Amino acid sequence: MASKSFTLTKSDARQNMVGAWDLVTKMVAAGKRVRVTVGEMASRRSTEQNDMFHSICHELSQQRQWAGQTIDTEGWKRLLVDCWARATDRGQGKVVPSLDGHSVVNLGIQTRRLPVSEMSELIEFAQSYCAEHDVELHQ
């Protein structure tokens, strides 16, 4: 039997718990061990936050160079996330050699996994960076 996740809200908690209980009883009856974990689910970044952060990164790509090079939107995203993670003492992941051994790859923080509150902090950090470096934001 496949595992299943249930997200509970005020309006559907009872209905989803009944579904969870049904699944648990079937699995236990089939001789399976079942793990149940209950915890608060932090909301992931919003679409609006995602759009705003990408807009900031795009503005940077149009107005600034880094290390004497033009950097695309995705590159600025990685640069900002890396700097923000260090500035706020977040774990930054690892830097490892590429599969072909010709470069390095940062296995750092991914914005799609950030909760709303952390994404807000990152956006404020990026806006501050732009203000300090004379990048005009058209948001």
The pLDDT assigned to 107 comes to: 82
What's the rounded Cα separation, in Å, for the pair 85 and 120?
A: 13
**pLDDT at residue 2 tops 80:** no
Mean pLDDT over each residue of the chain, to the nearest integer: 90
Radius of gyration of the chain, Cα coordinates, nearest whole angstrom? 21
pLDDT digits (tens, 9 = 90+) for 29-69: 999 999 988 887 777 888 899 999 999 999 999 999 999 99
Confidence of residue 75 (pLDDT cuts 50, 70, 90): very high
Q: What average pLDDT does this structure show over 120-135?
A: 96
Residue 46's SS3 state is coil
Residue 31's SS3 state is coil
The pLDDT assigned to 74 comes to: 94
39: number of Cβ within 10 Å: 5
The pLDDT assigned to 109 comes to: 87
The pLDDT assigned to 94 comes to: 79
What's the rounded Cα separation, in Å, for the pair 133 and 110?
A: 24
The pLDDT assigned to 106 comes to: 80
Q: What average pLDDT does this structure show over 73-94?
A: 88
In the chain, the percentage of residues whose pLDDT exceeds 70 is 98
Domains within the chain, CATH numbers bracketed? 1-41 (no CATH), 47-132 (1.10.3790.10)
**pLDDT at residue 139 tops 80:** no
**In the block, which residue shows the tokens 């600034």?**
64
